[in-house]
């Protein structure tokens, strides 16, 4: 008998479709198989604007990358097959794939058009059963849509995603709980999703190039370098499960209950921030007003003028400087 899911180590899948746009195009047009295929803007023989949205592994091997200017891709690879994106088709296929994944998950988290996290803890016998179950998921997607995917398996999301990145294409890589530290240690910090060029440069300047070095870096020092980002980054480097795949809510409810709780918490934080901003603005206004009054009194004192009366003192003549009677213009001397 299996122990309750909540008492067991989580088994998380990161499922990533392989070169999704290109794979869908090849399914529709088999003659493209083996060709360098680039999906994106019209290159216009090197004069086009826009970027590469996706490319085949053959194109990647020749230096093409997603996000690259389409004009540069043309200069590098003018003989590739350039295709405009078919958003309707990609969206329809993605929806079908995600339906398959939902059917195989305790908890499903849709990341993008071609990737998702699955918590399958209650559906497998620990990590011993994860490999066979992952193969079943891959087979189900291939049967439904004729497409290949790669699956990374780990006890947390960040490690599972790194595993799938390393196993592409059409791969399967399992990182058991006891293997997480050794698996992550030699990898460059840029393998962590969300670590871009700027963060990598800051870390490298501090002598941190690998995830292992990041895990060993003093927490206080890391916080000085990266501020709030240090917390999640340090957790990922140490293989700590900071965030579950999603809330433990039935799939038919549409969205996890924990999401609502998060939004409620976020709303409370937002309200508190707004309250503090209002209080700060009021305090600043009060201070500014007091400062202006002090400056005006000082100016009048230096000019040899009498102190200005309270403008709200509407019952006495002192409220009308020099007896000129401001109210005269309105046809009345008081309120």
The residues annotated with a catalytic role in the active site are: 115
DSSP state of 2: P
146 SS3 class: coil
DSSP secondary structure, 179-228, as one string: GHHHHHTTSBGGGSTT--HHHHHHHHHTT--BHHHHHHS-HHHHHHHHTT
Q: Largest Cα–Cα distance of the chain, in whole Å?
A: 97
CB 71 within 8 A of CB 47: yes
The residue behind tokens 């020749």 is: 62
**Rounded distance between C-alpha atoms, residue 162 and residue 167, angstroms:** 9
Q: Hey, which residues does 109 pair with through a beta bridge?
A: 117
- Report how far apart, in Å, the C-alpha atoms of 62 and of each of 8, 68, 80, 171 are: 45, 13, 10, 22
């Amino acid at each position: 008998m299996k122990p309750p899911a909540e008492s067991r180590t989580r088994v998380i899948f990161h499922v990533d479709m392989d070169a999704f746009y290109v794979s869908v195009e090849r399914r529709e047009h088999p003659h493209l198989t083996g060709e360098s295929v680039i999906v994106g803007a019209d290159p216009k023989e090197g004069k086009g604007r826009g970027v590469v949205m996706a490319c085949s592994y053959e194109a990647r091997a020749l230096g093409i990358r997603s996000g690259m200017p389409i004009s540069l891709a043309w200069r590098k690879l003018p003989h590739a097959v350039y295709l405009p994106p078919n958003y309707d088709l990609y969206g329809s296929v993605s929806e079908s794939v995600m339906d398959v994944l939902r059917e195989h998950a305790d908890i499903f988290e849709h990341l993008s058009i071609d990737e998702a996290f699955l918590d399958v803890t209650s559906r497998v016998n620990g990590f011993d059963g994860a490999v066979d179950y992952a193969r079943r998921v891959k087979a189900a997607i291939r049967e439904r849509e004729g497409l290949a995917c790669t699956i990374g398996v780990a006890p947390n999301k960040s490690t599972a995603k790194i595993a799938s990145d390393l196993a592409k294409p059409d791969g399967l890589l399992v990182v058991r709980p006891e293997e997480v530290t050794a698996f992550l240690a030699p990898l460059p910090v840029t393998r962590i999703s969300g670590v871009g060029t700027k963060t990598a440069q800051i870390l490298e300047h501090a002598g941190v190039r690998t995830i292992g070095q990041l895990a060993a870096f003093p927490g206080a020092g890391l916080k000085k370098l990266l501020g709030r980002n240090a917390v999640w980054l340090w957790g990922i480097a140490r293989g700590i499960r900071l965030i579950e795949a999603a809330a433990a809510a039935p799939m038919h409810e549409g969205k996890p209950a924990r999401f609502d709780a998060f939004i409620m918490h976020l709303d409370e934080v937002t309200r508190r921030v707004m309250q503090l901003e209002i209080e700060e603005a009021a305090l600043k206004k009060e201070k500014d007003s007091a400062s202006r009054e002090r400056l005006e009194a000082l100016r009048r004192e230096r000019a040899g003028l009498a102190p200005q009366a309270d403008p709200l003192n509407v019952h006495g003549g002192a409220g009308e400087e020099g007896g000129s009677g401001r109210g005269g213009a309105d046809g009345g001397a008081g309120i």
